[in-house]
Structure 1
């Protein structure tokens, strides 16, 4: 019961903070107002978070954890083609990106991670980026293992290339208030199409478990 109450208070604080960040902006949001909206005392707030930056990184963490959970189903059971598989995973990431954070909040999180590279916030942000990158590489390795991607390619490096591009395009997305998620996904799909074509295995080539022999 105590653990559930603690989790409930934490969730209320996060929801109150993210709502206030959206309404008045990160800089203008006051901890006293977050506590009031969450129906907790300021002292209780500080039992959970030392400052607003801690709330922001907790929100980013919550976002990424849920995205990683959604992405696992794509990695475990990807669509038939390389392009479709990449698009499915990228869509998981992008479709969830504004559930908890607005574009302005993402810009603030990115700025803090760059301005304070040695801070706990920045280290956590980098760790989360690394986990997303690893998941994209896992998808490439899975596709290579089933013979969809050509053998001999560095699948992990391929995943890193795909992630670096989708991450860069996401930065462009949060910088542009007018850009829609649909437009973002379309642009990234177009960019990934020639890469997918280059790495897709020849249907007639031996699979990963083939001996290379033909039957008599």
Structure 2
């Protein structure tokens, strides 16, 4: 029976997340009410609050769902990376960026970033920061893997290089979500141009 209850609980959670994702995208984060999310998910308002304290918690759960999926895809790439450091780094960054608008719109990303900045010491803010840290750690892991394969100079500080790559990507992603006219193609081109000198410095 406990297994069935857990399955039902997970199913309700997924329905709530899917409903919130659709409503945040279609109606906007500010305009969406918990009552509307509950109705769309076919659960009671109390059930929503049993899972999430507020809309911000729901939003970070959607961000977490997105990040967990790209981390899994990134792990697969690191297991079999391209044989050039530029290609490997661009492939990992592309995984992150290509998935970034699957669940969240630019407006949702702006809301998520704003809440994390305004409330850095709340569970929401700490969770959001932890997701960034996991992504940065994966970029560092890629550089370390390439270094072991002889594709990155042995004297390079792999962690510093990985953090620099992630921080630049993260900064440019912030520009992307603030600029409605900017496309993913524009974003990738800007990041590739900015990282080119670093890629050249990493090669043996």
TM-score by length of 1: 0.91
CA shift, 1:6, in A, is: 1.1
Equivalent-residue separation in structure 1 for 2:167 and 2:66 (angstroms): 19
Q: How many pairs does the alignment contain?
A: 201
d(CA) in 2 for partners of 1:177 and 1:38? 30
**Residue 195 (structure 2) pairs with residue 192 (structure 1):** yes
Q: Which SS does the other structure have where 1:149 is aligned?
A: coil
Matched, 1:16 2:19: yes
Query: How far apart are residue 86 of structure 1 and its match?
Result: 0.4
Equivalent residue number for residue 127 of structure 2: 124
1:173 shift after superposition: 0.5
Task: Give the 3-state SS of the residue equivalent to 2:96 in structure 1.
Answer: helix
Aligned to 2:139: 136
Unaligned runs of 5+ in 2: none
Unaligned runs of 5+ in 1: 202-216
Match of 1:152 among 151, 155, 162: 155
Distance 1:108 1:42 in 2: 22
The correspondence of residues 1-216 of structure 1 with structure 2, limited to 5 A, is 1-201=4-204
Distance in 1, Cα, partners of 2:193 & 2:82: 17
Structure (1 or 2) with the larger CA radius of gyration = 1
Aligned-residue Cα RMSD (Å) equals: 0.9
Structure 1: 4+ residue segments shifted above 2 A: none
Q: Distance in 1 between matches of 2:117 and 2:69?
A: 24
TM-score when scaled to structure 2? Answer: 0.96
Q: Cα distance, 1:112 vs. partner?
A: 0.5
